[in-house]
Amino acid sequence: MSQLTLKHLRYFEALARHRHFGRAAEASAISQPALSLQVKELEDILGAPLVERGPRQIRLTPLGEDFAQRARDVLRSVDELAALARASGGPLSGRLRLGVIPTVAPYLLPRVMRDLSGRFPGLDLRPREAVTPKLLRDLHEGRLDLALVALPVSEPALIEHPLLDEEFLLVRHESARDLPVPPLVDLPAAPLLLLEEGHCFRDQAIAACKLPQGPTGELMEGSSLSTLVQMVGAGIGVTLIPEMAAAVESRSAPVVLHRLNEPRPGRTIGLVWRRSNPLSERFVDLAEGLREALR
């Protein structure tokens, strides 16, 4: 009879995360029949079903839900054992899974990659872009080592290390170049363009303009900062963007950027990681070096 292995746990955890055999197989870099066979073998070992297989989707059984959480805990502990060995060695090396939010990735990630690759030649950087809630979930579940996000995240299980502060800039059509900068509370009348729900920058813009959470009505949404700036260039409202995006986004649309009146809204960008990670002290040194490089 087959014995339970880490391979079984990794493949089942991927299935539990994606809730789809094809996507789980793709994420695990194996064929769908091979992943299905591993999950069936795991069920045979346990003597109970973990998955309800439907024609278009799968559902986890109650045992499957509990088993998935325990599998994540085991896999995270195994990864931390490997990190413990790395922590006792020389310079930081090996795989480093770095999550980055979409309002930072296009503007800061290339510099971060260059700096880390230069200081740690043996580092195998694996960047992943996603919104903050998904990055934090992946951190907790051991699928990421570090995440570059807007602070604070205020989660006791995570360490936060600030890297830089930046202001938000007002983006208007170029025809408004000589017009006075309006107070933040007047921006929704323009109307104000926001990112879709799930982006932390959306929440920060709402807070800066003192809007109610979940605004409706005349406020419009876009999928990225580039989309918002292009909409402004087409004469559709105004928007806010972080300062790091200004040089890139203002080149491709007929827009003008303004600094806002005091008190100017802004955000802090930093790294977060699990307190339990054995590489935590190494990550502090990494973050300090990165902060100097970005300055």
Which of 78-82, 204-208, 236-240 is predicted with the least confidence, judged by mean pLDDT? 78-82
pLDDT at 217 over 60: no
Q: Of the segments 12-26, 145-159, 191-205, which one has the largest average pLDDT value?
A: 145-159
* Residues 27-62: tens digit of each pLDDT: 888 999 999 999 999 999 998 999 998 777 788 998
Going by C-beta distance under 8 Å and a sequence separation of 6 or more, which residues neighbour residue 53?
Answer: none
Domain 167-266, CATH homologous superfamily name and number: Periplasmic binding protein-like II (3.40.190.10)
Q: Which CATH architecture has domain 92-164+268-294?
A: 3-Layer(aba) Sandwich (3.40)
pLDDT of residue 1: 47
* Residues 130-156: tens digit of each pLDDT: 999 999 999 988 889 999 999 999 999
One of 1.20.1260.10, 1.10.10.10, 3.30.70.920, 1.10.645.10 is the CATH number of 6-84, namely 1.10.10.10
Taking only Cα atoms into account, the Rg of the chain, rounded to an integer number of angstroms, comes to 23
Distance (Å, whole) CA 123 – CA 67: 33
Say if residues 260 and 170 touch (Cβ distance below 8 Å): yes
Beta strand residue intervals within 12-142, DSSP E: 51-53, 58-60, 94-100, 123-129
Segments making up each domain of the chain, as ranges: 6-84, 92-164+268-294, 167-266
Going by C-beta distance under 8 Å and a sequence separation of 6 or more, which residues neighbour residue 152?
Answer: 160, 268
Round to the nearest angstrom and report the end-to-end CA distance of the chain. 59
pLDDT of residue 281: 87
What is the average pLDDT score of the chain? 88
Say if residues 184 and 265 touch (Cβ distance below 8 Å): yes
167-266 has the same fold as 92-164+268-294: yes
Angstrom distances, CA of residue 203 to CA of 89, 232, 260, 265, 292: 41, 20, 18, 12, 28
Mean pLDDT across the stretch 171-183? 91
Of 168 and 95, the one with more pLDDT: 168
pTM for the complete prediction? 0.75
